[in-house]
Amino acid sequence: MPCERKPMRYGHSEGHTEVCFDDTGRYIVTCGNDGDVRIWESLDDDDPKFITVGEKAYSLALKKGKLVTASSSNTVQIHTFPDGDPDGILTRFTTNATHVTFNRSGTRVAAGSSDFMVKVVEVSDSSQQKTLRGHEAPVLSVTFDPKDEYLASSSCDGSVVVWSIEQQTQVISWPLLQKTNDVSNATSLCRLAFQPAAGKFLAVPVETRVHLYERGSWDHVGSLSDELLTQPVNVAAWSPCGRFLAAGAIGGLLTIWDVNSRLVVERQKHEKGFTVCSLAWHPSGSQIAYTDTEGCLGLLDGLGTSGTGTSSTKAPAAKPKDYDDLFDEDDDRLMDEGLSDANSPVKKAAEDEDDDDFLIPSTGRVRNRGAILNDENSLDTGSLKLGQDKFGDDEDDDAGSSVAPATAQRPVYDGPVPTPPQKAFQPGATPAHLTHRFMMWNSVGIVRGYNDEQDNAIDVEFHDTAVHHAMHLTNSLGHTMADLSQEAVLLACPSTDDLASKLQCLHFSCWDTSKEWMVDLPQGEDVKALCLGQGWAAVATSALLLRLFSVGGVQREIFSLPGPVVCMAGHGEQLLLVYHRATGFDGEQALGIQLLQFGRRKRQLMNGEPLPLSPKSYLSWAGFTAEGTACYVDSNGLVRMLNRALGNTWTPVCNTRETCKSKSDHYWVVGAHENPQQLRCIPCKGSRYPPTLPRPAVAILPFKLPLCQTSTEKGQMEEQYWRSVLFHNHYSFLSSSGYEVDEAAQTQSDKEQQELLMKMFALSCKLEREFRCVELAELMTQNVVTLAIRYASRSRRMNLAQRLSEIALEKSTQLQEDEEPEDEPDYRQSEPYNTRQNEEDDEEEQVEEEDGREMETEETKRREFSPPFLSSNILDNMRSSRKLAPLSGSAGKPSKGPVLKPLAPRTKAKAQSTLLQISSNKMPSKKTPEAAEPAADLQKQPDVVAPPAENTENKRPKTGFQLWLDENRKIIIANNPDLDETDVIKEAMGRFRTMSADERLSWTERAKGQSGDAADVKKRKRAENEVVESDESNARKKSSSLDPSSKLSAFAFSKN
């Protein structure tokens, strides 16, 4: 049967609980052992309205806006519904009443009591009472005959009695039940029920069956039973149409019978097997609400479909009897069709008609269905129609004259249903109807509102007492909204009949003596939301206006809102405004968001974009992180943060529900920080918001991007990386809006991101995912790419290393392009190079590169030997790199020098060769410039480049270490004069090893260059220049990109 059992939810404290629907079916109303009557808008209503009726509430009945309850004070009271105002006491007993019920018209109430009496009271005049005496034990249950003639009651003395109300006499009495002495000891509550509408039957739960007695004759006409029902039935309830009977049993079994056929049409089991102690049908007959003895509330939904399902199964079931011979095989087909059809929404719409009158509407429906089916089934429609007609006849006397449920007549609209727009709220405030509540909890402090008999007051408390001492204000104006900042407290109240809506500001940081100001809003305009920023206050009103005030009370800008405001938040100069963009459908809210920036340059950062929310959720918090990034939380607990780097999109950063233990637990968010990454919130057990007492403690949740497969190492690192990127976006925002930025933290975060990238790179390498490696390298900064290159070459992935080196080059040129604009012009003016004039066009890039490098190194030196600028530059770089490396320390942040250095000279030699070519001609071409450079230096600057001069004398190929040793021997000896030769070498070895790998590499390269070409450096150099000139038109970038790879291969070679 298609019937959805919704999960149970906590309703009341443990104990007998009752439930009913209001007349319209909009609310579910429950009462329980805690003495509260709760009014639920739906099963998912986390904040039901409640009316306290006494210490315990035993029973309730609701009709025509009157709520009648039996409470522990031995009275039966009336409250208005849904307001919950007390409306007098209907009657009293000497002990508590056990069950109350309305008659059909709602004019009388019957109440059974533990003092053995049943009273029937006129609602309009409680003095008109009729007392029915005769039970010899507490009364279990009472029910009115729909025609108001009789009343049936069951009692612990074991009897079920039908009374004549007028004569106050027993009409008949059956000894059906077990005798007990008290309701609490009774095996069954024996909630009996008269059939509504026709009132033909009285249903009495007896043991595991429900007996049906015919009204008038009081004959036992049958029993409803089910083999699965093994425990006593507690409660019986008729569907509003009178065709179905639902029974709830001890042990939690819910059974629904079709009374005419006496067949079970639906069985459901309570999810925990608790005893069902109350059942109520929705006025439309499509839902059943039930409660158990543990105080939980449950709902069966979609019963309408099951209802039709049975009618259609029944129709064919009746038909074969008469028309068996005619349509033997098609019947089954049709039955199937009918069943499957029963699930369709069309069918659901038709269900009500079929309940109240079978003749015309049902035929119409069946014909329609026939038309939808294929031809051969069209024959069956006739038979089905007949079958249904017959079926209708059977029932005609029950249903014919009866008044159909109100809903049945209404045309049923089955499309999307508009969602009621969510009300305006203050983020960080608990609902306004509470007597003790938080009016605001934010990063500055807490504003509490008390509104009970003794006191109507507001407490303001600051987390940091250095801001201001705590304040206690009397709330004579009835403020309902508050915001708190480092400068002021802003309060607002809605308008009353004679008073306008007021805005009050306590500007405590003010340096003059009048620290308070108040503004009346124009007549008919109510404050809906408010917020404080730095130096300003904003108020959104019911007139769809946003009024801006200075914090001192000067009225500033005013503008119209695009829709009714939902909430606002302020931070520094930013104002976040959420409003209703349109009507949402099917539980969705259609919200829009505006983000404005005040201050010197006023502008709108977000211009009414739709606010993404989780399905069927609403906004529950909106605000800024401490760093000023907008973020918000929806009712599904999903936290989203503004991603400025991705065109102001919203990224989910945390799902607070994931950390909740139970379904009804929530986290009430009070703030967020990006550095350190903290979501500050208050865990609330079984509710959406915390009570004011005991004072709740703030918990911290970590952020987590919902990336895939975060259980794997890869997913984890990806998540960490992107989270780090997202949460450090605010630096650029802060610096762009002129705030001070914590440089250390920023570099720290950059470092962290690059480290993560490197780890991911290493992981991908391990997994043989070279393409992925390259993708990752594209995210890296140039320095880290060189690291990656080294990693790749060390793990002998030459192909990868080459590709990476291309990326490295691209990055370096990019870097220089970024840097260039500032110095390029004056560079050109101050440095008239010969070479540049010769090869102006193609040298341009080169120049740029040079330029960037020059920034790093000593400019003066470069100027000294201007003509062959290539060599001088390289030397400079080498020197600088050697100087820098020890300072920069770890490999994490190698200086720029080593990367750039080899690029420039390489450029020309390599132009446009393919990979293969590169590898083949790599060696010689690479050597040339390097070798050339020391030589050139030697010529031009003998004093500066003394070590290379020595090198030229060496005939024998030298290793990089030797080269280095030559240069540094003197220093070592100077430092340790007592060392002999071997010790010097040892010492030098040690020092050489401590140098960064890059440096060693450069030495190795130098050594290679020298070993091969030292003799004819000059020649080579000239040759190279020629090459350069000939290739000048070829793509420079390409060629220069090869350099790192060659460098690497050299590294690999030396390793081998």
Partner 1 sequence: MDPSEVEFLAEKEFVKIIPNFSLDKIYLIGGDLGPFNPGLSVDVPVWLALNLKQRQKCRILPPEWMDVEKLEEIRELERKEDTFTPAPSPYYMELTKLLLNHASDNIPKADEIRTLVKDIWDTRVAKLRLSADSFIRQQEAHAQLDNLTLMEINTIREFLLDSLNCMYKLRSNLQPGATKGQFADY
Shortest gap between Cβ of 686 and partner 1 (angstroms)? 17
| Nearer Cβ to partner 1 (464/520) | 464
CB of 626 to partner 1, least distance (A): 10
Q: Which is nearer to partner 1, 27 or 668 (CB)?
A: 668
CB 441, min distance to partner 1, A: 9
Give the Cα-Cα-Cα angle 218, 221, 224 (nearest 5 degrees): 125
> Cβ distance 291 to 31 under 8 Å?
no
What is the spatial distance between Cα 426 and Cα 670, in angstroms, rounded to a whole number? 11
Q: How far apart are CA 158 and CA 151, in angstroms?
A: 17
Q: Which is nearer to partner 1, 158 or 690 (CB)?
A: 690
Comparing CB distances to partner 1, the nearer of 678 and 846 is: 678
SS3 assignment, position 798? helix
- Minimum CB separation from partner 1 for residue 772, in Å? 39
The alpha carbon of residue 687 and the mean position of all alpha carbons in its chain are separated, in whole angstroms, by 17
Inter-residue contact 224 to 259 (CB < 8 Å):
yes
Q: Which is nearer to partner 1, 293 or 678 (CB)?
A: 678
Quote the radius of gyration of the chain (alpha carbons, Å): 43
> Least distance (Å) from partner 1 to the CB of residue 660?
20
CA distance 460 to 652: 33
Query: CA torsion sign, 245 to 250 to 254 to 257?
Result: negative
> How many CB atoms lie under 10 A from the CB of residue 937?
23
Q: CB of residue 633 vs partner 1: minimum separation in angstroms? A: 19
CB of 484 to partner 1, least distance (A): 12
What is the distance between the alpha carbons of residues 151 and 161, in angstroms, rounded to a whole number? 8
* Residue (462 or 1051) nearer to partner 1, CB: 462
Compute how many other C-beta atoms are within 10 angstroms of the C-beta atom of residue 615.
Answer: 9
Shortest distance in whole angstroms from residue 673 CB to partner 1: 9
Q: How many CB atoms within 10 Å of residue 329?
A: 7
Q: Which two tokens stand for residue 678?
A: 């903290």
Cα 96 to the center of its chain, rounded Å:
47
* Residue closer to partner 1, measured from CB, 215 or 680: 680
Joined together, the tokens standing for residue 222 give 């049958």
* Minimal distance, residue 569 CB to partner 1, in Å: 18
- The answer to whether residues 445 and 459 touch, using CB atoms and an 8 Å cutoff, is no
The CA-CA-CA angle for residues 902, 904, 905, to 5°, reads 80
Distance, CA of 685 to CA of 695 (rounded, Å): 14
Question: Which residues make Cβ contacts (< 8 Å) with residue 524, sequence separation at least 6?
Answer: 495, 542, 543
Q: Which is nearer to partner 1, 464 or 713 (CB)?
A: 464
- List alpha helices for 831-902, DSSP H: 834-838, 840-856, 859-864, 869-888, 897-900
Task: Report the nearest approach of partner 1 to the CB of residue 445 (Å).
Answer: 8
Q: Considering the complex, state which of residue 63 and residue 680 has its C-beta at the smaller distance from partner 1.
A: 680
- How near is the Cβ of 537 to partner 1 at its closest, in Å? 23
| Rounded distance between C-alpha atoms, residue 1013 and residue 108, angstroms | 116
Q: Which residues bind partner 1 (CB under 8 A)?
A: 443, 445, 462-466, 680, 694, 697-698, 700
Minimum Å distance from CB 654 to partner 1? 17
Selection from 516, 427, 534 nearest residue 473 by Cα? 516
* Sequence-separated (6 or more) residues with CB below 8 Å from residue 355: 241, 243, 285, 307, 399, 404, 405, 408
- Tell me how far, at minimum, the Cβ of 465 lies from partner 1, in Å: 4
Q: How many whole angstroms separate alpha carbon 888 and alpha carbon 890?
A: 6
Nearer to partner 1, 443 or 907 (CB): 443
Q: Which residues of 259-279 are buried (b: 16+ CB within 10 A; e: fewer)?
A: bbbeebbbebebeeebbbbbb
CB closer to partner 1, 727 vs 1051: 727
Report which of 87, 91, 86 is spatially closest to residue 74, judged by C-alpha positions: 91
d(CA 263, CA 1036): 88
> Two tokens at 29?
């109303």
Distance from C-alpha of 322 to C-alpha of 967, rounded to nearest angstrom: 115
Secondary structure of residue 638 in the 3-state scheme: strand
Query: What are the beta bridge partners of residue 545?
Result: 560
Place of tokens 């509003």: 240
Nearer to partner 1, 430 or 846 (CB): 430
Q: How far is the CB of 669 from partner 1 (least distance, A)?
A: 14
The gap from C-alpha 646 to its chain's centroid, in whole angstroms, comes to 19
Q: Please state the closest distance from residue 692 (CB atom) to partner 1, in A.
A: 13
Inter-helix orientation angle 869-888/915-940, to 10°: 100
Q: Which is nearer to partner 1, 462 or 761 (CB)?
A: 462
Nearer CB in complex with partner 1: 381/442 = 442
Q: Which is nearer to partner 1, 486 or 710 (CB)?
A: 486
Q: Which is nearer to partner 1, 298 or 623 (CB)?
A: 623
Question: In this structure, what are the phi and psi dihedrals at residue 86, rounded to the nearest 5 degrees?
Answer: -65, 140
- Give the separation between CA 366 and CA 126, rounded to whole angstroms: 51
For partner 1, the closer of residues 432 and 467 by Cβ is 467
What's the closest the beta carbon of residue 399 comes to partner 1, in angstroms? 57
Least CB distance from residue 733 to partner 1, whole Å?
22
CB-side exposure of 98: number of CA atoms within 13 Å? 26
| CB of residue 752 to partner 1, shortest distance in Å | 19
Contact of 629 with 733, CB cutoff 8 Å: yes
371 CB neighbour count, 10 Å cutoff: 11
Cβ proximity to partner 1: between 683 and 929 the closer is 683
